[in-house]
């Protein structure tokens, strides 16, 4: 009996549709999207080999570069299952479109340039099928490209979830968090009134509601810095202002503590990275991926 035989039986009986929907919003990201779709292709193949379906949904904001052409190429390889390209009202509007047409039991959101770590896919699949959590989350390597080199800026070690930690602004990286779609429907998806930090609102809400949460203390994804909330100082200030409003809205009190705690935690992770970098063999991990 192979180690996934029981998983296959469970999947065939209980999960005839996709187990996971990976939703990727894109807009003029021809330089980044290929790496993301290649990593999804590897994950999809692994799922398929073990009798489980992974769905890939890409929502494009009517890109004017080669992004659409690249996505269409991967659709031709059966990597991208659903693809929309039309004007939208920002990243969270795109994600809501993706949620509406996705069929997975779980949803994972990846940005263009983010990469699933191939060797951890088995661990993700095993935990989702065996334990059926409301949320499964892990750690993330945060990198920045400089002159063709990948520089590790932060090792996002999420740590064990305790509801009390939400008061101090705690949340895992959204790109390493698998959330049951029923919970995302329960909170009505992403709030488009927030332009930078709506994903934080989603995480704070679902972690308040969830009962069965699994933390996988491994790096599950690589995140490419330069997204909506970390472009420049002004964006960072706007993001923190949105986080303050969100904390107040979702009853995290006092809201200033959530924002201040979140900032201190990010600073601590950045400083800590210098001391734990070698311990986690991150260079070997990245070398195998890229």
The pTM for the full model equals 0.91
105 and 142 co-located in one domain: no
87 and 224 co-located in one domain: no
153 and 43 co-located in one domain: no
- Exposure string of 189-210, with b = 16+ CB inside 10 Å and e = fewer, is bbbbebbbbbbbbbbbbbbeeb
110 and 185 co-located in one domain: no
123 and 30 co-located in one domain: yes
Structural domain including 101 reads 1-132
122 and 96 co-located in one domain: yes
Could you report the per-residue pLDDT of 37-61, keeping only the tens digit for each?
999 999 999 999 999 999 999 999 9
Could you report the per-residue pLDDT of 185-228, keeping only the tens digit for each?
999 999 999 999 999 999 999 999 999 999 999 999 999 886 55
14 and 52 co-located in one domain: yes
191 and 50 co-located in one domain: no
| Joined tokens for residue 118 | 């191939």
Q: Which of 102, 132, 162 is the last residue of a domain?
A: 132
Q: Which of 71, 100, 132 is the last residue of a domain?
A: 132
Look at residue 125 in the predicted model and tell me its pLDDT.
96
127 and 150 co-located in one domain: no
In this structure, what CATH number is given to the domain that contains residue 40? Answer: 3.90.550.10
Look at residue 277 in the predicted model and tell me its pLDDT.
63
Cβ–Cβ under 8 Å, residues 71 and 57:
no
Position 14 confidence tier, pLDDT thresholds 50, 70, 90: very low
Place of tokens 């969830």: 210
8 pLDDT more than 60: no
Q: In the chain, pLDDT over 70 holds for what percent of residues?
A: 88
Please tell me which residue, 150 or 128, carries the higher pLDDT value: 128
Could you report the per-residue pLDDT of 263-273, keeping only the tens digit for each?
999 889 888 88
212 and 253 co-located in one domain: yes
Please tell me which residue, 180 or 118, carries the higher pLDDT value: 180
84 and 52 co-located in one domain: yes
Outline where 151-254 has alpha helix (H). Answer: 181-186, 198-209, 233-249
d(CA 47, CA 272): 34
d(CA 252, CA 172): 16
Residue among 175, 209, 183, 197 nearest 247 (CA): 197
**In the predicted model, what is the mean pLDDT of the chain?**
90
Backbone dihedral angles phi then psi of residue 4, each to the nearest 5 degrees = -105, 5
Place of tokens 């809501």: 96
Residue among 208, 214, 206 nearest 128 (CA): 214
CA angle at 138 for the pair 132 and 140, rounded to the nearest 5°? 150
**Mean pLDDT in residue range 148-157:** 84
48 and 140 co-located in one domain: no
Number of folded domains that form the chain: 2
Report strand pairing: 115-116 vs 20-26: unpaired
């Amino acid at each position: 009996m192979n180690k996934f035989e029981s998983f296959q039986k469970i999947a065939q009986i209980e999960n005839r549709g996709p187990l996971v929907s990976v939703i990727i919003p894109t807009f003029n990201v021809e330089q980044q999207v290929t790496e993301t779709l290649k990593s999804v292709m590897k994950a999809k193949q692994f799922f398929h080999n073990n009798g489980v379906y992974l769905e890939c949904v890409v929502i494009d904001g009517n890109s004017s570069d080669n992004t659409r052409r690249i996505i269409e190429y991967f659709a031709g390889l059966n990597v991208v299952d659903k693809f929309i390209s039309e004007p939208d009202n920002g990243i969270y509007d795109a994600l809501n479109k993706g949620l509406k047409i996705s069929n997975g039991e779980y949803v994972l959101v990846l940005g263009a340039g983010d990469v699933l770590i191939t060797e951890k896919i088995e661990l993700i699949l095993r935990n989702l099928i065996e334990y059926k959590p409301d949320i499964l989350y892990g750690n993330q390597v945060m990198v920045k490209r400089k002159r063709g080199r990948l520089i590790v800026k932060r090792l996002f070690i999420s740590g064990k979830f305790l509801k009390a930690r939400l008061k101090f602004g705690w949340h895992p990286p959204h790109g390493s968090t698998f959330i049951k779609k029923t919970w995302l429907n329960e909170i009505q998806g992403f709030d488009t009134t927030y332009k930078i930090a709506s994903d934080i609102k989603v995480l704070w809400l679902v972690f308040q509601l969830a009962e069965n949460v699994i933390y996988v203390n491994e790096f599950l994804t690589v995140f490419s810095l330069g997204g909506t909330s970390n472009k420049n100082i002004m964006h960072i200030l706007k993001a923190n202002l949105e986080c303050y409003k969100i904390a107040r809205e979702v009853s995290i009190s006092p809201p200033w503590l959530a924002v201040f705690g979140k900032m201190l935690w990010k600073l601590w992770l950045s400083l800590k990275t210098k001391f734990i970098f070698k311990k986690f063999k991150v260079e070997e991990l990245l070398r195998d991926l890229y």
